């Protein structure tokens, strides 16, 4: 079946602009995660969704970052007033069983964001 998909694959934007990154999880997966991969910080957790709720937003770096999930499926990560330090690859993952630490997370290919 289809894996996790993300769009766009690449996004170049100017400093100060808003961007939206989209994640389509594997069908039926109720847990969804966003991570950020950058040269300086490595792979960092951003936010976790259980269904449409986000019990843990602790990884969002500032209030310019927000995310939502609708219909228990697609998720959108929005970055407002982008800064150069936001440049990174944003990875989305999904898994079958929310709240189960042993569950396998399946990752999408990522969106490479470049802020000029």
Partner 1 sequence: AQSVTQLDSQVPVFEEAPVELRCNYSSSVSVYLFWYVQYPNQGLQLLLKYLSGSTLVKGINGFEAEFNKSQTSFHLRKPSVHISDTAEYFCAVTGGGTSYGKLTFGQGTILTVHP
Spatial neighbors of 106 by CB under 8 A, at least 6 apart, are 3, 4, 26, 29, 93, 94, 95
Binding to partner 1 by residue 105, rule CB under 8 A? yes
Binding to partner 1 by residue 43, rule CB under 8 A? yes
CB of 37 or CB of 80, closer to partner 1: 37
Q: Which of 99, 112, 12, 23 is nearest to 68 (CA)?
A: 23
Binding to partner 1 by residue 1, rule CB under 8 A? no
Pick from 19, 33, 69, 113: which binds partner 1 (CB under 8 A)?
Answer: 33
Phi, psi of 85 (to 5 degrees): -70, -5
CB of 82 or CB of 111, closer to partner 1: 111
Please choose, out of 15-23, 30-38, 61-69, 73-81, the segment that lies near partner 1 by the rule CB under 8 A: 30-38
Q: How far apart are the C-alpha atoms of 114 and 112, rounded to whole Å?
A: 7
Binding to partner 1 by residue 35, rule CB under 8 A? yes
User: How many other CB atoms are found less than 10 A from the CB of residue 1?
Assistant: 5
Which residues lie near partner 1 (CB under 8 A)? 4, 31, 33, 35, 42-45, 48, 50, 55-56, 91, 93, 95, 98-110
């Amino acid at each position: 079946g289809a894996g996790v998909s993300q769009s766009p694959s690449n996004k170049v934007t100017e400093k100060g602009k808003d961007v939206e990154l989209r994640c389509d999880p594997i069908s039926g997966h109720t847990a969804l995660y966003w991570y950020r991969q950058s040269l300086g910080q490595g792979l960092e957790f951003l936010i976790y969704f259980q269904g449409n709720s986000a019990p843990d937003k602790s990884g969002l770096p500032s209030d310019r970052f927000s995310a939502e999930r609708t219909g228990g499926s697609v998720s959108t990560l929005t970055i407002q007033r982008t800064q150069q330090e936001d440049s990174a690859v944003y990875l989305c993952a999904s898994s079958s069983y929310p709240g189960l630490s042993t569950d396998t997370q399946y990752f999408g290919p990522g969106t490479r964001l470049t802020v000029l």
